[in-house]
Amino acid sequence: MAVQITTAEAVKKIVDQSSVMIGGFLGAAVPLKMIDEIAAAGVKNLTVISIGAGYRGGGVDVGKLVLNHQIIKYVTSHVGTDPNLIKQIVGEEVELELSPMGTFVERVRAGGAGLGAVVTPVGMGTEVEAMAQKITVDGKPYLLFKPIRADVAVIKAYRADPLGNLQYQGMSNTNPIMATAADIVIAEVDEIVEIGEIACEQVGTPGIFVDYIVQGHRYEERKTIYEEMWIATNKL
């Protein structure tokens, strides 16, 4: 069951030192309006949990929180797209917690699914061994990683109904996984529709996981924002 609130109300759930999961993938399918609200709210010392940094070049989407120096710790698998973030990590302003991408995703999934750890062979024989605990299962060596959870997850979906059921379009990427792994889950959507308009087989994230729904940019607005960004960076 979810409650529809404004982005201004939703951002109050995030305070100084909150851990915040942000859905999306290097700028794609990110909750743009909520990120703008977090940037405007100026909350500090955030732990941001996101599969990668923002869109290449930095300064947009999650990169706005970097420019504002709002982040104290970044939990991720990749920061290569944001030079500002790299600078803050090298300058020891931001603590970096890395894991391989597939491991990162499973750690979030484990956090949401009530599991105690992720056990994976990925990273054996590399520096990643030092980031985890080594264990042996049936004679084979594995790395054990702890689950990841957050105080608040801010995710992006296409449509929501008043029960909090979410429908995705295109690549849902990290959004449905993060929807399970935070104390408070805020879903930013293009459209809010009546109960029943999202057929049960179209539900990507059942409403049981979602606490708040906020109206984001409508689809056509979002399309314009992305086309302009892609044209400006010579990708379209």
Partner 1 sequence: MPRNYIARRIAKEFKDGMYVNLGIGIPTESANYIPEGTRVFLQTENGGLMFGPKPKRGESNPDIANAGAEPITMLPGGAVFDVATSFAMIRGGHIDMTVVGALEVDETGSIASWKIPGKLLTGMGGAMDLLYGCKRVVVAMTHTDKHGNPKIRKKCTLPLTAAGVVDMIITDKAVFRVAKDGLYLEELAPGITVAEIEQLTEGTILNIIEWEHIEIT
Site residues for partner 1 per CB under 8 A:
25-29, 51-52, 55-56, 76-81, 86, 89-90, 96, 98, 100-103, 105-106, 109, 120-128, 158, 168-177, 219, 222-223, 225-227, 230-231, 235-236
For the four alpha carbons of 4, 159, 33 and 112, in that order, the dihedral sign comes to positive
Pairing of strands 133-137, 140-145: antiparallel
Q: Output 14 or 213, the one with its CB closest to partner 1.
A: 213
Minimum CB separation of residue 213 from partner 1 in Å reads 18
Q: Output 13 or 109, the one with its CB closest to partner 1.
A: 109
Question: 3-state class of 89 per DSSP?
Answer: helix
Q: Output 5 or 202, the one with its CB closest to partner 1.
A: 202
Minimum CB separation of residue 113 from partner 1 in Å reads 10
Minimum CB separation of residue 9 from partner 1 in Å reads 25
Minimum CB separation of residue 38 from partner 1 in Å reads 20
| Closest listed residue to residue 100, CA positions, set 81, 134, 126 | 126
91 CB burial (10 A radius; 0-12, 13-18, 19+): exposed
Q: Output 43 or 189, the one with its CB closest to partner 1.
A: 189
Question: 3-state class of 222 per DSSP?
Answer: helix
Q: Output 52 or 147, the one with its CB closest to partner 1.
A: 52
Minimum CB separation of residue 86 from partner 1 in Å reads 6
Euclidean distance between CA atoms 228 and 236, whole angstroms = 9
Q: Output 43 or 84, the one with its CB closest to partner 1.
A: 84
Minimum CB separation of residue 204 from partner 1 in Å reads 8
| Closest listed residue to residue 48, CA positions, set 169, 61, 168, 200 | 61
CA distances from 204 to 47, 136, 156, 158, 232 (A): 27, 36, 12, 10, 32
